[in-house]
Amino acid sequence: MSVFEAAAQQLHTVRDFLRFTVSQFQEAELFFGHGNDNAYDEAAYLILHTLHLPLDTLEPFLDARLLDTEKSLLLQLVQRRTSERIPVAYLTHQAWQGAYEFYVDERVIVPRSFIYELLGAPLHPWIEYDELVHRALDLCTGSGALAIQMADIYPDAMIDAVDISLDALEVAGMNIEDYGLEDRINLIHTDLFTGIDTTYDLIVSNPPYVDAESVAQLPEEYLHEPELALGSGIDGLDATRQIIQQAARYLNPKGVLLVEIGHNRQVLEQAFPELPFTWMPTSGGDGFVFLLTREQLLGKA
C-alpha cells in the first residue's frame, strides 16, 4: 500500500491533512518560489483552496472531517506537487500579485513582479499625478497582471499589453475579461516594440532576464514555466538591452520607463555606464527594478 493509499484510509480531518501535506512537501525537498516560501504556508493554501474555504481562515476548520471525494482530490494534488514538482499555482490555476488575483496555467509564468509595488505613489517624484498617465505600455505582459494593475491605479489611462507568445495573450485575455477591462487594455502580439506606433507616458516591463548559467541550474519547479519567459541570452540582458535602446522613441516628454531585471544590476550598469539608473526600493531590495526617463535615455537630463 502506498503512502497516499494509506492516507486516504487513515486521515480524516483538515488537521490530519495539513500535517501529512507538510510532511510530504518537506520529504520531497520542494522549492517554494511561486507565491509561498515554505512548506506549511503552501500546504495550508492548497488545502483551503481545494476545500473551497477562505484562504485566510484555517483554525476553525482544523477538526472538520473530509468527504472521501475531498480526500481523493486533495491527495491527487499533493502527489502531483511532490512527484512532478509542479508549482502550486498551476495546480490551483490561481496566483496573487499583491491584492490582485489572476488565473494562470503553464502558458504563462506565475506573476511575481516587484513592479506592481512601484505603481502610483512611488512614481510621484516623476509622474506627479496618476491622472497624468493617459497611455501606458506593459511589455512582456504574460498573464496580463501588470497591465491590469496599471489600469486600476491609473484610471484615465489606456493600456497596451504586448507579448510575443500567443498562448500568453490568451491567458491575459481571460484575466482582462475577469476584471472587465476589455475596453481599456489592448492586447498586441509582437516582439517588444516591433510594429508599435504609439507613444506612452509610462512603459513597464518584466522581461526575461535569467542568464544562461542560472537557467541551467533552475529548480525543477521553474522548468514548468515557459522557457521563453525566463532566459534572455548569455548574461540575461538581451531583451533589456533592446528595451533600453528603443524605449525613448516610444515615450512622451517626461515619460518613464520601469524595468525589472532580477540580479543583473552590476552587469547592466557595466553595459550602460552613461545611463543614470534610479534603482527603486522594493520588498525584495533596491537592486531589482530600475527607472529611466525619456530625457535620461536621450542623454538630455
Tens of pLDDT, residue by residue over 60-98, are 999 999 999 999 999 999 999 999 999 999 999 999 999
Rg (CA), the chain: 21
Mean pLDDT of 210-219: 77
Read off the pLDDT band of 120 (50, 70, 90): very high
Mean pLDDT check: name the lowest of 129-138, 158-167, 202-211, 290-299. 202-211
Residue 298: burial class (beta carbons within 10 Å; 0-12, 13-18, 19+): exposed
Q: What mean pLDDT is predicted for residues 103-111?
A: 96
Residue with cell 498573464: 143
Classify residue 266 by burial, with Cβ atoms within 10 Å: 0-12, 13-18, 19+: exposed
Tally of CA atoms within 13 A in the half-sphere of 298 that contains its CB: 14
Please state the pTM of the whole predicted model.
Answer: 0.93
The Cα–Cα gap between 241 and 140 comes to: 14
Q: Is the pLDDT of residue 162 over 90?
A: yes
Taking alpha carbons only, the member of 5, 262, 281 closest to residue 113 is 262
State how far the Cα of 116 lies from the Cα of 214, in Å rounded to an integer: 25
Contacts of 220 (CB under 8 A, 6+ apart): 31, 85
- Cα distance between residue 213 and residue 226, in whole Å: 17
* pLDDT at residue number 225: 87
What's the confidence (pLDDT) of residue 108?
Answer: 96
Return the minimum-mean-pLDDT range out of 8-12, 120-124, 166-170: 8-12
In DSSP terms, 210 is beta-bridged to 231
Strand 289-293 to strand 251-260: parallel, antiparallel, or no bridges (unpaired)? antiparallel
pLDDT of residue 301 exceeding 70 = no
∠ CA 142-124-295 to the nearest 5 degrees?
Answer: 80
Task: Give me the chain's average pLDDT, please.
Answer: 93
pLDDT tens digit string along 227-277? 877 767 778 788 999 999 999 999 999 999 999 998 888 889 999 999 999
CA distance 165 to 107: 9
Domains of the chain, start order: 3-92 (1.10.8), 112-297 (3.40.50.150)
To the nearest whole percent, how much of the chain has pLDDT over 70?
99
Q: d(Cα 147, Cα 171) in Å, to the nearest integer? A: 13
Of 171, 214, 208, which is closest to residue 192 (Cα–Cα)? Answer: 208
* pLDDT, position 285: 86
At residue 229, the pLDDT reads 73
Give the pLDDT of residue 185.
98
How is residue 210 annotated by DSSP? B
Rounded-to-integer distance, Cα 142 and Cα 166, Å: 10
pLDDT band at 291 (very low <50, low <70, confident <90, very high): very high
DSSP 8-state assignment for residue 275: S
Give me the amino acid identity at 272: F
Cell of 196: 508599435
